[in-house]
Amino acid sequence: MTAMLLAMASPVTDIGQRIPQYADYVRILPVLVLSIFGMLIMVLDPLIDEQIHSKVLGLIAFFGALASLAAVFYQSQYPGLAFWNMVRVDMFSTFFQVVILAIAVLTILTSFEYMDTQRIRAGEYYALILLGTAGMCLMSSAVELVLIFIALEISSIATYILAGFLRRDPRSSEASLKYFLLGSFATAFFLYGVALMFGATGSTSITEIATALSGSYVPSLAYIAVALMFVGLGFKLAAAPFHVWTPDVYEGAPAPVTGFMSTAPKAATFAVLLRVIFEAHVPGYFWLIWVAAVLSMTLGNLGALTQTSIKRMLAYSSIAHAGYMLVAFASAPAGGISAVMFYAASYAAMNVGAFAIISHLGGFGERFVSIEDYAGLARRAPFMAAMLTVFLLSLIGIPATGGFFAKFYVFSAALQANLVGLTILGVINSAIGAYYYLRVIVVMYMQEAKGDIPVTPLPIGVRAVLLITMLTTLYLGLVPGNVLTYTQSSAQNLVAPKSPGNGTIKVEIDFHLSQAKPKVELTAPASR
Amino acid sequence: MVPLSYYLVLSAFLFACGVAGFLLKRNIITIFMSIELMLNGVNLSFVAFAAQWGNLSGQIFVFFVMVVAAAEAAVGLAIIIAVYRTRDTLNVDRVNLLKL
């Protein structure tokens, strides 16, 4: 489908009659694989016997996501532009695609059990996860605002539905409604920003926008456009002051979906924001980002202090983490970009892990999601309590976990850019944040269980997810060097000036790329 | 020939009407229509700018916006039906199970 859309859009850039080449398709291969598997699941959905239905479709989805992950590694050997300068495969897009696909694989693994406990039909669920992921992968490699908009919508529409997937549960459909209404509202703002950017520069291609804005005269329309686009993207990031939907939606959505949508669309949106800000060199973003970062950190952390539901608490914490990542945006390009990328990967690992535990413990209809229900968990299920502790410590930013280095790089990038005030606010906020994460750990280890809350043994899928995310969290915390080297060179690559493409495929080979091991996330420790 | 600024002012006005409708109306369907109004306001800008720059990509963009709006409408109405079935109301103020 995506290929078709791209082919339809092709006359826009007017490059004559060139037909898409093999390399064009390779550069959207992960997206193609995801779309094919997603559609395959929808076709097979009514054909498969009811008893094995959920298992078979789940496995197809799992292998589809893995195949797409393999496609990313294959594709990374062919960096460059594709489809008339619509898509750019580079180290940056590879990194984000690996993160997003790893999240999708882990979410699917978590969902195996969840589908059975909640007794929902699995077909559309897995199809939507794959198709939404396709949109997110496209977001991280798109370099044309038309395509960015479409990819953003593919991912958003899929997540609107996923949020309301427990459709008989009024909380879930309410979450879906709120997410849908506010999401489309924000999309309209993003779109208006794109329209004004088109008006200011006469182009929708990021490279051409960069050229148009590089002169000494910057039309004032461009400033308004940047502000409007930031409103739309800020919503998807759950950055304050566009965060009001977050707690409600994260609380009402099914737990594996919450884990998915608090990480994958966020990473993809950060990729878009990084491209728009640092590749298109748009003007006047600094104070927007600064204010959003401070508000997100503060409102997120203060909001989380009083929550009683663990899903709601992690929703506020996700607002705060979006704030920390925005701090890196405000600082110098290269260091900031690499810090955001590292943060996105480590946040994904710890949050997906935490939500895997939450969705396992929730039980039928997600009854046990308040923090009190975790009392005495250390005695009832020591393994799960230990895992959750690792993830929460990582969310605080304790050394030896991925969260520590993520925060460290963000704040050191900010300090290098002389943003002392912003750094101080960020550090104070991390200290506030420690309180509510530690509260959960205290409840798990120090309090006696109230009532009789069943703990079922961990199924193999969730066990695998926990091991992978835990190892990734520790890997990023103990040996961050490999990943950091990769993010730094892709950041350099992103900010380097680019010659506008003219339709011929430029092989802008970064000579690292063919040798570098882009095994940054999740897959590396998995093989140990 | 009508100057560009007329189109832009009209487009901004439509967009503002949409925003006002979104914030002030209480019926979910009306809110949804306000969003469509915002999108159409944006479409007008795209077409006006495309004519100004002599660049067709603005007009092509409008088609994509229409497609996306249609997809959003399909999903949105389905979600609204799901909400109506569980809550028996279309008033946003009464869809308040999750505290805001």
Does any domain span residue B30? yes
Cβ pair A9, A138 in contact under 8 A:
no
pLDDT at A457: 87
Sequence-distant contacts of A444-449: CB under 8 A, at least 24 apart: A444/A374, A444/A375, A444/A376, A444/A377, A444/A378, A444/A385, A444/A388, A444/A389, A445/A378, A445/A385, A445/A389, A447/A375, A447/A376, A448/A375, A448/A376, A449/A375, A449/A376, A449/A377, A449/A379, A449/A380
pLDDT at A478: 94
The Cα A282–Cα A431 span in angstroms is: 33
Residues of the domain holding B49: 4-87
Q: What confidence tens digit (pLDDT) does each residue in B50-74 have?
A: 999 998 889 999 999 999 999 999 9
pLDDT at A501: 46
Q: What confidence tens digit (pLDDT) does each residue in A27-82 have?
A: 999 999 999 999 999 999 999 888 888 889 999 999 999 999 999 999 999 999 98
The arithmetic mean of pLDDT across residues B5-13, rounded, is 95
| Nearest-10 Cα torsion for A408, A410, A414, A416 | 60
pLDDT at A1: 47
Query: Of A58, A167, A74, whose CA–CA distance to A114 is shortest?
Result: A58
**Which of chain A's residues have a Cβ under 8 Å away from the Cβ of B86?**
167-170, 173-174
The Cα B27–Cα B84 span in angstroms is: 12
Does any domain span residue B17? yes
Question: A-side interface with B, Cβ within 8 Å?
Answer: 5, 9, 11-13, 146, 149-150, 153, 157, 160-161, 164, 167-171, 173-178, 180-181, 184-185, 188, 191-192, 194-196, 198-199, 202-204, 244, 247-248, 251-252
Cβ pair A321, A347 in contact under 8 A:
yes
Domain total in chain B: 1
Angle between helix A245-252 and helix A170-201 axes, rounded to 10 deg: 140
Write out the two tokens for A441: 């750990």
Provide the residue ranges of all domains of chain A, joining segments of one domain with +: 22-516
Query: Of A418, A405, A337, A422, whose CA–CA distance to A91 is shortest?
Result: A337
CB contact under 8 Å between A203 and B57, yes or no, is yes
Query: Of A489, A507, A511, whose CA–CA distance to A499 is shortest?
Result: A507
Q: What is the 3-state secondary structure of A293-335?
A: HHHHHHHHHHHHHCCCEHHHHHHHHHHHHHHHHHHHHHCCHHH
Residue A15 pLDDT more than 90? no
Q: Hey, which residues does A361 pair with through a beta bridge?
A: none
The Cα A62–Cα A37 span in angstroms is: 10
The arithmetic mean of pLDDT across residues A173-188, rounded, is 94
Of B28, B46, B98, the CB nearest to A198: B46
CB contact under 8 Å between B31 and A181, yes or no, is yes
Euclidean distance between the first and final Cα of chain A, in Å? 37
- Longest CA pairwise span in chain B (Å): 53
Residue A2 pLDDT more than 60? no
Does any domain span residue B42? yes
Our CA-based measurement puts residue A287 at a distance from the nearest CA of chain B, in whole angstroms, of 24
Residue A258 has a CB neighbour count (10 Å cut-off) of 26
Write out the two tokens for A488: 């730094």
The arithmetic mean of pLDDT across residues B70-91, rounded, is 92
Residue A480: asked if its preceding bond is cis (omega within 30°), the reply is no
Higher pLDDT pick, B82 / A498: B82
The Cα B19–Cα A429 span in angstroms is: 33
The Cα A175–Cα A163 span in angstroms is: 6
CB contact under 8 Å between B95 and A146, yes or no, is no
Q: What confidence tens digit (pLDDT) does each residue in A287-327 have?
A: 999 999 999 999 999 999 999 999 999 999 999 999 999 99
pLDDT at A499: 56
Query: Of A327, A344, A328, A321, whose CA–CA distance to A267 is shortest?
Result: A344
DSSP states along B8-23: HHHHHHHHHHHHHHHH
- Can you give the pTM of this predicted structure? 0.90
Our CA-based measurement puts residue A169 at a distance from the nearest CA of chain B, in whole angstroms, of 7
What's the pLDDT band for A528 if we cut at 50, 70, 90?
very low
CATH number of the domain enclosing B73: 1.10.287.3510
Can you tell me whether residue A283 is helix, strand or coil? coil
What's the pLDDT band for A346 if we cut at 50, 70, 90?
very high
The Cα A334–Cα A141 span in angstroms is: 18
The Cα A151–Cα A142 span in angstroms is: 8
The Cα A396–Cα A172 span in angstroms is: 29
Cβ pair A314, A355 in contact under 8 A:
yes
- Which of B65, B77, B92, B94 is the mutation pick for testing A, counting most A CBs within 10 A? B65
What's the pLDDT band for A148 if we cut at 50, 70, 90?
very high
pLDDT at A149: 96
Residue A269 has φ and ψ, to the nearest 5°, of -65, -35
pLDDT at A519: 39
CB contact under 8 Å between B98 and A160, yes or no, is no
CB contact under 8 Å between B35 and A204, yes or no, is no
pLDDT above 70 covers what percent of chain A? 91
CB contact set of B73 (below 8 Å; sequence gap of 6+): B32, B36
Q: What confidence tens digit (pLDDT) does each residue in A458-509 have?
A: 899 999 999 999 999 999 999 999 999 999 999 988 888 765 444 333 333 3
Nearest CA in chain B to A249: B98
pLDDT above 90 covers what percent of chain A? 70
The arithmetic mean of pLDDT across residues A129-153, rounded, is 96
pLDDT at A473: 95
CB contact under 8 Å between A157 and B75, yes or no, is yes
CB contact under 8 Å between A157 and B71, yes or no, is yes
The strand ranges marked E within A72-221 are 80-82, 87-89
Q: Which amino acid is at A87?
A: V
In 3-state terms, chain B is what percent helix, strand and coil (to 5)? 80, 0, 15
Can you tell me whether residue A239 is helix, strand or coil? coil
Write out the two tokens for B66: 């229409």
pLDDT at B93: 86
The arithmetic mean of pLDDT across residues A395-423, rounded, is 93
Does any domain span residue B26? yes
Does any domain span residue B93? no
Does any domain span residue B67? yes
Residue A4 pLDDT more than 70? no
pLDDT at A353: 95
Q: What confidence tens digit (pLDDT) does each residue in A72-91 have?
A: 999 999 999 988 889 999 99
Q: What confidence tens digit (pLDDT) does each residue in A246-270 have?
A: 999 999 999 999 999 999 999 999 9
The Cα A181–Cα A397 span in angstroms is: 34
Query: Of A401, A316, A310, whose CA–CA distance to A356 is shortest?
Result: A310
Does any domain span residue B59? yes
CB contact under 8 Å between A174 and B98, yes or no, is yes
What's the pLDDT band for A408 if we cut at 50, 70, 90?
very high
Higher pLDDT pick, A279 / A441: A441
Does any domain span residue B96? no
The Cα A220–Cα A152 span in angstroms is: 26
Residue A510 pLDDT more than 50? no
What ipTM does this complex have?
Answer: 0.96
pLDDT at B100: 55
CB contact under 8 Å between B55 and A203, yes or no, is yes
Nearest CA in chain A to B28: A181
Q: How many CA atoms lie within 13 A of A256 on its CB side?
A: 28
Cβ pair A60, A40 in contact under 8 A:
yes
The Cα A116–Cα A91 span in angstroms is: 39
CA distances in angstroms from A400 to A105, A203, A328, A395, A431, listed in the order given: 25, 46, 21, 12, 17
Of B8, B18, B97, the CB nearest to A170: B97
Q: What confidence tens digit (pLDDT) does each residue in A202-240 have?
A: 999 999 999 999 888 888 999 999 999 999 999 999 998
**Does residue A258 come out as left (phi exceeding 0), alpha (psi in the -120 to 50 range) or beta?**
alpha
